[in-house]
């Protein structure tokens, strides 16, 4: 049953890959589609789901804390591995870290919506409000050899312009104020939000680079196993420690089980990291996740 719920989402990813390789509708379409989703449709989805979220609920607060704890534990383990085993420069450690701690938001929300409906989307939006800034900061620190901490202003400016972070801030502010969205504007955001996930999954498929998998199999295997197998197990353990159950625990584990984010490739290229390695991690994890996600959710008791 779980596989039947998830496979249509991966079918959209495969369709996006096939359409992009066929050059349909044209090559300029896919970057433009990703931009409109990133700057308009996806922020609308976040605001629409956060505006009525029970952000004062103790379980919601624990979910945010569990997200921070899980991500920071993973980042600490990766740092220890780098200092003892990997001995990798920032250009390669940055992609490896992102391959473990970052998550594909489109796929995570799509799976959450399929398994837990609107309640799951509300919880997931709160998780993103905490997780998106955190993983972005950790990724930039890893790629820049922590030099960004000595000059934090550019990082703060980048975070302040991030449309996902802005969407989360607006949504949470409205939820705390309890005012809702006036004049039926929530319906407008809901219309925009309905287009976000299917378009996002198509764009994920369009961005896959199968040739990159052959670049360095050994470097790809470690972070991918940690991301797809160890992270959901860690998330389940942290959920127990934080007293999460039901939808909150499911959301945390789903976002730990999904592959890394395609946007990690863009950040890696911008900061001079190993783009081929990052592209390989995104592609390999996305392909493998069609099997590992239902497997891990079943093993961890969420099927």
Asked if residue 24 belongs to a domain, the reply is: no
pLDDT number for residue 126: 93
Is the residue at 23 inside a domain?
Answer: no
Can you give the pLDDT at residue 153?
Answer: 86
Residue 271 CB-density burial (10 A; 0-12 exposed, 13-18 middle, 19+ buried) = middle
Name which of 137, 122, 151 is nearest 53 in CA terms. Answer: 122
**For residue 86, what pLDDT band results from cuts at 50, 70 and 90?**
confident
Report whether pLDDT(165) > 70: yes
Residue 1 — pLDDT band, cuts 50, 70, 90?
Answer: low
Please report whether residue 122 resides in a domain: yes
Please check whether residue 89 lies inside any domain of the structure. yes
Closest to 36 measured CA to CA, from 157, 255, 202? 202
Give the pair of three-digit tokens for residue 183: 């004049």
What share of the chain in percent tops pLDDT 70? 100
Does residue 25 belong to any structural domain of this protein? no
Give the residue numbers spanning the domain of 213. Answer: 2-17+30-299
Q: What is the mean pLDDT of the chain?
A: 93
Q: In 51-89, which residue ranges form alpha helices assigned H by DSSP?
A: 58-81
Phi, psi of 277 (to 5 degrees): -65, -45
pLDDT digits (tens, 9 = 90+) for 199-221: 999 999 999 999 999 878 888 99
pLDDT mean over 64-88? 95
Instruction: Give pLDDT tens digits for 253-275.
Output: 999 999 999 999 989 998 999 99
Q: Is residue 169 part of a domain?
A: yes
- Looking at the structure of the chain, the number of domains it has is 1
Residue 12, domain member (yes or no)? yes
Q: How far is CA 126 from CA 100, 156, 179, 261, 276, in A?
A: 21, 21, 18, 18, 32
CATH number of the domain enclosing 176: 1.20.1530.20
User: Percent of the chain, pLDDT > 90?
Assistant: 82
The answer to whether the pTM exceeds 0.75 is yes
At which residue do the structure tokens 């039901």 appear? 246
Please name the helix (run of DSSP H) or strand (run of DSSP E) that holds residue 109, with its range, or none: helix 105-143
The answer as to whether 248 is a domain residue is yes
């Amino acid at each position: 049953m779980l596989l039947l719920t998830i496979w249509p989402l991966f079918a959209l990813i495969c369709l996006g890959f096939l359409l992009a390789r066929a050059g349909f509708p044209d090559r300029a379409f896919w970057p433009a589609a990703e931009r409109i989703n990133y700057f308009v449709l996806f922020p609308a989805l976040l605001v629409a789901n956060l505006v009525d979220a029970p952000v004062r609920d103790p379980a919601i607060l624990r979910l945010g804390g569990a997200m921070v704890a899980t991500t920071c534990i993973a980042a600490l383990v990766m740092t220890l591995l780098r200092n003892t085993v990997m001995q990798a420069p920032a250009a390669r450690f940055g992609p490896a870290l992102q391959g473990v701690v970052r998550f594909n938001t489109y796929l995570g929300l799509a799976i959450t919506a399929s398994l837990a409906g609107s309640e799951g989307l509300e919880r997931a939006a709160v998780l993103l409000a905490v997780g998106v800034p955190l993983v972005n900061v950790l990724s930039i620190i890893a790629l820049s050899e922590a030099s960004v901490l000595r000059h934090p202003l550019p990082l703060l400016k980048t975070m302040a312009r991030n449309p996902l972070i802005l969407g989360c801030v607006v949504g949470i502010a409205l939820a705390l104020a309890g005012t809702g969205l006036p004049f039926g504007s929530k319906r407008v955001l809901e219309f925009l939000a309905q287009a976000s996930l299917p378009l996002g999954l198509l764009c994920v498929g369009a961005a896959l680079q199968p040739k990159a998998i052959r670049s360095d199999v050994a470097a790809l295997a470690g972070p991918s196993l940690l991301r797809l197998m160890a992270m959901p197990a860690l998330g389940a353990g942290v959920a127990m420690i934080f007293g999460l159950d039901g939808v909150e625990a499911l959301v945390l584990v789903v976002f730990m089980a999904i592959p890394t984010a395609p946007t990690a490739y863009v950040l890696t290229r911008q900061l001079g990291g190993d783009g081929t390695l990052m592209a390989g991690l995104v592609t390999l994890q996305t392909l493998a996740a069609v099997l590992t996600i239902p497997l891990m959710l079943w093993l961890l008791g969420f099927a």
